[in-house]
C-alpha cells in the first residue's frame, strides 16, 4: 500500500515537472517569436532595461552585495544575531540573525533580502521554514526608490510618500508578524538557535555576541584580501544576473503589450477593479506592475481618464500594489538567489499577492489622515529628489546601520526587562 502511494506521488511530481518545463519552454518560444517579428520593440525595451540596471540597480545593489559578503566573513551577522535574538524571537519567531536581514533588506530593497537569507541558510543560521518567512517579509523596495523615484518623481506629490511607505513597509511587518504562527511549532529550533542558547550560558549577551563573532571569523579563516576579492567576484556575477532578468522582463512585457496578447488579461483586470470600486483605467498599470515594478508604479502615476488624472488615492493604491507584489522580474531574481536552498516558490507568490492586497487596504485607511495633514500645511516628507546622486548611494547603508542600532537597542532592553522579571517575580 505504501509503495503504491509513493509511486502515485512520484508520478504526480513528474507530471508537474513536465508541465512546468513545457510551459516555460512554450513561453520562451513565444517571446522569441515576438522578438523576431518586432525587433525594434525588443531593442528599445532592452535598452530601457539596461538603462534602469546601470543607473539605478547597479549603484544601489552592488555595494550591498559586497558588504553583505564582508559582514558574513567577519562574523558581524553572528554578532547582530545574538544581540537581536530577544527581539526577533517573540515578534517574528525568527533567530536574531533575521534582524540583520530585515535591516539590510528594508534599507537596500529587493533582492538583497533574498541574497542574505540564502547565505544564512547555507551557513545553517536559519532553517528552510524560517528562511522562507524571512525572504517573504524582506522582499521590499528600497526607500530611495519609493521616496525619490515613485513618490516624488512619478507622482510629484510629497503627501504620496508617507502613504506609500506606511502601506509598503507596514504591510511587510504585518505579514512577518502574522507568519510567526505558520509552519513548525515554536519549540522546534534550528542548530543556530541551539548554538545561541549555549553561548548564553557563558556570560552576558554582549559577551556571547562577541564570542559568536569571533568563532564565525575563525571558521571563515580567509584573509581580508582574499575575502574582498571573492566578495567582488560573486557580487559582480549576481548583479549581472539581476541586470539580465530586468532586461528580459522589460522586453517580454513590451512585446506582449504591443502584440495585444495581454488584452484579455487587461479586460479581466478592469472588470475586477470595477467590482471592488476602483477605476477600471488602472487595469493597464496593474498588468504592467505584474511584470516589472517600475513600469507598474509609473503607469499608476500617469493613468488618466477623459476628465484628467484619476483620484490620487486610487493611483497610490495601484502603485502600492505594484511595489508590494514586486513584479515577476523581482520574483525571478529571488528564485535565482534562493535556488540552492530548497526554497519553495508557492508560498512566496501567495505572500507577495497578499502583501499587495494589504498595501492597497492600508492606502485607503491612512489617506484621509494624510490628506488632512497636507491640507493643514503640515510638511509630510523631505524632497528626496533633491539629494545628490552620491549621497543617495551612501544613504541606504547609513539607514541600514541606523535600523540595526535601533533593533539592537530594543533587543538589549528586552533582555534587561526579561532579567528584571526573573529577578523580581510578581507575587
List, for residues 103-162, the tens digit of each pLDDT value.
Answer: 888 887 888 889 889 988 888 888 889 899 999 999 998 887 888 788 888 888 888 889
Q: Chain centroid to CA 65: how far?
A: 14
Give the pLDDT of residue 208: 80
**Taking the C-alpha atoms of 304, 310, 316 and 318 in order, what is their torsion angle to the nearest 10 degrees?**
-60
**What percent of the chain has a predicted confidence (pLDDT) above 90?**
18
- Closest alpha carbon to 316 in 276, 359, 379: 359
Q: Minimum mean pLDDT among 9-23, 200-214, 365-379: which range?
A: 9-23
Q: How far apart are CA 57 and CA 245, in angstroms?
A: 12
Is the pLDDT reported for residue 367 higher than 50? yes
Band (33; pLDDT cuts 50, 70, 90): confident
Q: Are 196 and 96 in contact (CB under 8 A)?
A: yes
Q: Chain centroid to CA 283: how far?
A: 24
| b/e 225-238 (16+ beta carbons within 10 angstroms → b) | eebeeebeeebeeb
Helix (H) or strand (E) holding 12: helix 2-37
Give the pLDDT of residue 357: 94
Give the pLDDT of residue 5: 47
Average pLDDT over residues 346-374: 90
Is the pLDDT reported for residue 243 higher than 50? yes
Q: Which residue ranges make up each domain of the chain?
A: 1-37, 40-423
Give the pLDDT of residue 250: 84
The DSSP secondary structure of 20-73, one letter per residue, reads HHHHHHHHHHHHHHHHHH-HHHHHHHHHHHHHHIIIIIHHHHHHHHHHHHHHHH
Q: What cell does 288 get?
A: 504592467
Q: Minimum mean pLDDT among 8-12, 26-30, 223-227: which range?
A: 8-12
Give the pLDDT of residue 387: 45
Residue with cell 477605476: 279
Give the pLDDT of residue 101: 86
Average pLDDT over residues 74-95: 81
Q: pLDDT tens digits, residue range 164-217? A: 999 999 999 999 888 888 765 444 444 444 444 444 444 567 788 788 788 888
Q: Are 199 and 191 in contact (CB under 8 A)?
A: no
Q: How far apart are the first and last CA of the chain?
A: 58
Is the pLDDT reported for residue 356 higher than 90? yes
**Strands 304-305, 308-309: pairing kind:** antiparallel
Indicate the DSSP class of residue 188.
-
Give the pLDDT of residue 331: 92
Q: Are 269 and 286 in contact (CB under 8 A)?
A: yes
Amino acid at each position: 500500500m505504501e509503495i503504491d502511494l509513493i509511486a502515485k506521488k512520484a508520478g504526480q511530481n513528474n507530471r508537474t515537472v513536465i508541465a512546468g518545463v513545457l510551459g516555460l519552454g512554450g513561453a520562451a518560444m513565444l517571446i522569441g517569436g515576438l522578438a523576431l517579428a518586432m525587433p525594434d520593440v525588443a531593442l528599445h525595451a532592452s535598452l530601457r532595461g539596461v538603462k534602469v540596471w546601470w543607473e539605478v540597480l547597479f549603484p544601489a545593489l552592488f555595494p550591498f552585495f559586497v558588504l553583505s559578503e564582508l559582514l558574513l566573513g567577519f562574523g558581524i551577522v553572528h554578532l547582530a544575531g545574538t544581540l537581536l535574538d530577544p527581539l526577533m524571537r517573540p515578534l517574528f519567531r525568527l533567530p536574531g540573525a533575521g534582524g540583520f536581514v530585515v535591516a539590510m533588506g528594508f534599507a537596500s530593497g529587493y533582492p538583497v533580502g533574498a541574497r542574505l537569507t540564502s547565505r544564512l541558510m547555507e551557513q545553517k543560521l536559519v532553517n528552510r521554514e524560517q528562511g522562507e518567512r524571512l525572504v517573504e517579509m524582506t522582499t521590499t523596495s528600497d526607500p530611495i526608490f519609493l521616496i525619490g523615484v515613485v513618490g516624488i518623481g512619478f507622482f510629484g506629490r510629497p503627501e504620496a510618500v508617507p502613504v506609500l511607505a506606511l502601506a509598503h513597509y507596514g504591510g511587510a511587518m504585518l505579514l512577518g508578524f502574522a507568519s510567526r504562527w505558520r509552519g513548525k511549532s515554536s519549540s522546534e529550533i534550528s542548530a543556530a538557535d541551539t548554538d545561541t542558547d549555549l553561548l548564553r550560558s557563558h556570560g552576558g549577551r554582549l559577551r556571547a555576541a562577541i564570542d559568536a563573532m569571533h568563532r564565525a571569523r575563525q571558521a571563515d579563516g580567509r584573509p581580508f584580501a582574499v575575502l574582498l576579492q571573492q566578495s567582488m567576484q560573486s557580487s559582480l556575477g549576481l548583479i549581472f544576473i539581476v541586470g539580465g532578468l530586468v532586461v528580459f522582463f522589460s522586453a517580454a512585457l513590451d512585446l506582449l503589450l504591443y502584440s495585444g496578447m495581454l488584452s484579455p488579461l487587461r479586460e479581466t483586470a478592469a472588470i475586477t477593479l470595477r467590482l471592488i470600486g476602483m477605476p477600471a483605467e488602472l487595469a493597464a498599470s496593474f498588468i504592467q506592475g505584474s511584470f516589472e515594478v517600475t513600469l507598474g508604479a509609473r503607469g499608476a502615476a500617469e493613468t488618466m481618464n477623459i476628465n484628467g488624472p484619476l483620484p490620487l488615492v486610487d493611483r497610490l493604491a495601484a502603485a502600492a500594489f505594484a511595489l508590494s507584489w514586486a513584479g515577476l522580474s523581482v520574483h525571478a531574481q529571488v528564485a535565482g538567489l534562493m535556488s540552492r536552498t530548497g526554497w519553495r516558490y508557492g508560498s512566496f507568490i501567495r505572500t507577495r499577492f497578499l502583501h499587495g492586497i494589504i498595501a492597497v487596504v492600508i492606502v485607503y485607511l491612512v489617506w484621509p489622515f494624510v490628506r488632512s495633514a497636507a491640507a493643514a500645511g503640515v510638511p509630510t516628507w523631505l524632497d528626496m529628489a533633491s539629494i545628490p546622486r552620491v549621497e543617495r548611494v551612501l544613504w541606504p547603508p547609513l539607514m541600514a546601520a541606523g535600523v540595526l542600532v535601533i533593533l539592537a537597542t530594543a533587543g538589549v532592553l528586552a533582555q534587561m526587562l526579561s532579567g528584571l522579571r526573573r529577578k523580581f517575580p510578581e507575587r
